[in-house]
Amino acid sequence: MIEDSRPSTITPSMLLRELWLYIPLKRSLSASMVEKIRLFYSTYFELHFSCIKRKKAVLWMDSRNFLFEQYILRALLLSLKSTHLLMIWQPNFKSGLESLLKSRPIRAIFLGVRIGDPTAVGQEQFSPSSPGWPPFMRVNPILDWSYRDVWAFLLTCKVQYCSLYDHGYTSIGSIHDTLPNALLCISNSTGNKEKFRPAYLLSDGRTERAGRAKRFSPSVRNSMSNGTSNVDLQKQSMLTASVIAVGDEILFGTVEDRLGLSLRRKVHSIGWSISHTSIVRNDIDSVAEEVELRRSSSEMVFIYGGVGPLFSDATLGGIAKAFGVRLAPDEEFEEYLRHLIGEHCTGDRNEMAQLPEGITELLHHEKLPVPLVKCHNVIVLTATNLTELDLQWDCLIELTRTGDLFPLLEPYKSKHLITKLSDVEIAPSLAKLCLEFPDIDIGCYREARSGPIIISFKGKNEERNQLAAEALSKKFQPGAFTNINLNSPET
């Protein structure tokens, strides 16, 4: 157990990871231990953030927020003896902040931003506000805390929190984009109402924002005659991935990027959506810029190309720069390379064993000669052809089934119609159909400019695809559309 709670020797993350062992088992801590924890935190924050003598809190009231969240925030702020509730603002955060700073000489503001949040890119414990925002110092005391760290602190210190977290919500935004996390859903065969485990039982903190899915209006939901639920809709869109290819030869069209097409199909086959795909040059800065952008906007990033001993292999260096760390020798990875390359693992080849320091996880599989590299939510694929990519992907799927590497979701199903109608004729009906079936991705394309239009319906539910296709057909004369079967790898 913890022997020394002095801030100079123990960080919050070290303490919280120790305490987390007690939470899933519902173990209780002694009163003296709890008091020791409280004392640790009060001392830690006093030492690190003593520059702010009198803390004031501001609560923004917004009609888009959950009332539960508003009430618990008000109660929390009023209950903190060392915190003075300054005022309540009605506007959105930015405009309210502008008004606040005009009327009050505030120099610094405490925020609950953590690494992994979309707004955390480039931030440190003390960071000036972003360009375009009012000038103030952002103070981020829990920047390096993980999802588990937060819940270990809340539960151990018995801090009040929003009751929505006890009903499956893991990340609360507005009423328009927040749903219970489907990964906490409890199967219920006796009734239609879904039940969820509390947020602190989420096993993988990387899926904290999986509940940030589109919430549909009652009128739209009533149009879903097969009773599609919140969780069903969430499974359609809750997890996204970005695919990054590194290589001048791909960017300039010297070689065909067959790996990217195959990889995107594989990602779709496990029920994930591709939010972005890109090709960048063999340049550390180019790779770093793209990785930094995509790791914050997507739950997972798959990157391939640019890995090796050549001067142009910039992928690992770019990843390290994106996370603000250095490349450092990894003895375990070097040993694998030595067995693979032999005595030639020297000089430039030995530099292949330099990995992003402190953020690298090696993904071992008996079928892989060298482990794959994972840096937080970025997975580096070293395949150079489709056969190698198939092998590495199959190993990733096996690893995630046994070790919860990333969630495997319900795969997408597709349906296709073909028509000789013109774009102008079908455009208004397709626009309305997208509103009637927001859970279905509806697209259309031609294989030739003068050829027929192919309309695709893609979603997690085959019945919904069929209903959408039938709804479109009913808007036109019989026979205007014909079903076709396409050999789509993700169906």
Sequential DSSP letters for 351-394: GGGEEETTTEEEE--TT-SS-EEEETTEEEE--SSHHHHHHHHH
The two tokens of residue 407 are 């969630």
In terms of domains, do 381 and 476 share one?
no
pLDDT at 471: 92
pLDDT at 62: 54
Assigned domain for 320 exists:
yes
CATH (domain of 319): 3.40.980.10
pLDDT at 218: 43
How large is the average pLDDT for residues 416-429?
90
Residue 58 has pLDDT above 70, yes or no: no
pLDDT at 277: 94
User: Burial code of 70-89, b = ≥16 C-beta within 10 A, e = fewer?
Assistant: bebbeebbeeeeeeeeeeeb
Range(s) of the domain holding residue 475: 413-484
DSSP 3-state of 325: coil
Q: Tell me what percent of the residues of the chain surpass a pLDDT of 90.
A: 20
One-letter identity of residue 287: V
In terms of domains, do 310 and 396 share one?
yes
Assigned domain for 156 exists:
no
Residue 442 has pLDDT above 60, yes or no: yes
The candidate with the shortest Cα–Cα distance to 117, out of 350, 377, 348, 484, is: 377
How large is the average pLDDT for residues 6-10?
40
In terms of domains, do 373 and 258 share one?
yes
In terms of domains, do 291 and 396 share one?
yes
Q: Report the alpha-carbon distance of residue 19 to residue 10 in Å, rounded.
A: 13
Assigned domain for 69 exists:
no
In terms of domains, do 388 and 311 share one?
yes
What average pLDDT does the structure give for the chain? Answer: 75
Assigned domain for 196 exists:
yes
One-letter identity of residue 168: G
Residue 387 has pLDDT above 60, yes or no: yes
pLDDT at 1: 30
| pLDDT 10s digits, 337-369 | 777 766 555 544 456 778 888 888 889 888 988
The two tokens of residue 11 are 């960080």
Element (H, E) at 59: strand 55-60
In terms of domains, do 269 and 385 share one?
yes
- Name residue, tokens 């906490």: 184
In terms of domains, do 428 and 399 share one?
no
The candidate with the shortest Cα–Cα distance to 176, out of 64, 314, 261, is: 64
As for how many domains the chain has, the answer is 3
Assigned domain for 47 exists:
no
Residue 18 has pLDDT above 50, yes or no: no
The two tokens of residue 321 are 């720069």
Neighbouring-strand partners of residue 479? none
Q: Give residue 260's pLDDT band: very low, low, confident or very high (50, 70, 90).
A: very high
The candidate with the shortest Cα–Cα distance to 487, out of 199, 154, 193, 265, is: 265
In terms of domains, do 250 and 396 share one?
yes
Whats the size of the chain, residue-wise? 491
In terms of domains, do 376 and 421 share one?
no
| pLDDT 10s digits, 277-323 | 999 999 899 999 999 888 888 889 999 998 877 777 889 999 988 88
* Residue that terminates a domain, selected from 345, 376, 403: 403
In terms of domains, do 349 and 428 share one?
no
pLDDT at 112: 84
How large is the average pLDDT for residues 371-395?
93
In terms of domains, do 380 and 459 share one?
no
Structural Rg of the chain based on CA atoms = 26
The two tokens of residue 248 are 């001048």
Q: Give residue 89's pLDDT band: very low, low, confident or very high (50, 70, 90).
A: very low
Least confident of 76-90, 253-267, 296-310, 400-414: 76-90
Least confident of 23-37, 184-198, 206-220, 428-442: 23-37
pLDDT at 329: 83
Q: Report the alpha-carbon distance of residue 484 to residue 79 in Å, rounded.
A: 63
In terms of domains, do 397 and 417 share one?
no
Q: Report the alpha-carbon distance of residue 284 to residue 281 in Å, rounded.
A: 8
pLDDT at 84: 52
Residue 401 has pLDDT above 80, yes or no: yes
CATH (domain of 480): 3.30.70.600
Assigned domain for 278 exists:
yes
pLDDT at 343: 59
Assigned domain for 249 exists:
yes
* Residue that terminates a domain, selected from 403, 434, 467: 403
Residue 226 has pLDDT above 60, yes or no: no
Assigned domain for 84 exists:
no
pLDDT at 326: 83
* Residue that terminates a domain, selected from 355, 379, 403: 403
Among 127-131, 364-368, 445-449, top mean pLDDT goes to: 364-368
